[in-house]
Structure 1
């Protein structure tokens, strides 16, 4: 049985966007982890980063708690902390940082394990047609950031040494032209 197409909005109608004026993903990830520690968010919700282009490029975060009661409490606390909070998500895409199962994606897991313990719907491998073998190992580096694509939460991975995969996004990327 295939899962129905969904977005964070389908999983919960309770979504807030927080604009903290952030300029990079690392700061947005840190803000989401801070929110997870300080706000009444259950493990079934989502926290995503979104790139905003235009006159004022920045990274905003969306929070999708599981219930309206959680949403009201989260909104009240964020407003009290002087964050700019708006209803809904900025778009239907996003890079998930907080999601069900994210906290157990540590070390090396098979693709099958990743899909069974987390909200990730599928793993796509760069340069490969079709889906990877479910038994293929994924070395997470404790940094797994899937993206919403066409209603699915998709982790993009790339081949690594020893017949393993690693998430395409690495935790500490080398800045462009770092050796110049």
Structure 2
């Protein structure tokens, strides 16, 4: 799996708080950013819910192969008032920067992955073995039977919407029973027209 850190140990995750209130809005922001920055390979983009006395919303973390280059482009790719954080660098108003810092520190501990290596393979019905072999997802968990081991040939109805979660450093996909003896991701798709073409 692609590392979230450079080999030198320098933190390479960029936190972004653009004021998105919902997961759907944050998903749309992720896809807009990746399209605009032409980022495709080796990217982890995750959403992170936060709530403070001053504000609540959904921040985004971006783990990319070349964070310094992305950092230079982000301020012009995002609306005014967006908070950004990368290691000791920040941009934007203090409250948004605080949320961005939390998002940058969250991956591998918590968060919901929207884009990750192999996500484009997850369309239609795929097998459990293919998910583990062809994507960054490391663990499949059936809700209600967390200790169950899935045979590699088990079918998973993706609905073209697969959002695994970071749990204790492991990218984990929660599944539930679906029709026809299949399983399906716990989170069901609810795309807006502008996001309907994104996985």
Q: Same fold (TM over 0.5)?
A: yes
Which digits, 9 at most, give the CA deviation of each residue in 1:117-166, with x for residues without a partner? Answer: 10000110011132222211000000000000011100000001111000
RMSD of aligned residue pairs (Cα, Å)? 2.2
Distance in 1 of aligned mates of 2:4 and 2:176? 25
Distance in 2 of aligned mates of 1:145 and 1:54? 25
**For residue 61 of structure 2, what is the aligned residue in structure 1?**
62
Distance in 2 of aligned mates of 1:146 and 1:100? 12
The 10-residue stretch of structure 1 (72-81 or 92-101) with the greater mean CA deviation from structure 2: 72-81
For the pair 1:72 / 2:89, whether they are aligned, the reply is no
**For residue 172 of structure 1, what is the aligned residue in structure 2?**
190
Match of 1:126 among 143, 147, 159: 143
Q: Displacement, 1:10?
A: 7.7
Distance in 1 of aligned mates of 2:110 and 2:39? 21
Contact 2:156-2:182 within 8 A present in 1 as well: yes
For the pair 1:139 / 2:157, whether they are aligned, the reply is yes
For the pair 1:152 / 2:152, whether they are aligned, the reply is no
Contact 1:50-1:90 within 8 A present in 2 as well: no
Q: Displacement, 1:9?
A: 4.7
Normalization by structure 1: what TM-score? 0.84
Contact 2:13-2:105 within 8 A present in 1 as well: no
Deviation >6 Å, runs of 4+: none
Match of 2:44 among 43, 46, 60: 46
* Compared CA separation, residues 138 and 10, structure 1 to 2 (3 A): farther
**For residue 104 of structure 1, what is the aligned residue in structure 2?**
121
**For residue 22 of structure 1, what is the aligned residue in structure 2?**
20
Which digits, 9 at most, give the CA deviation of each residue in 1:84-138, with x for residues without a partner? Answer: 2112514231100110001110000010011111000011001113222221100
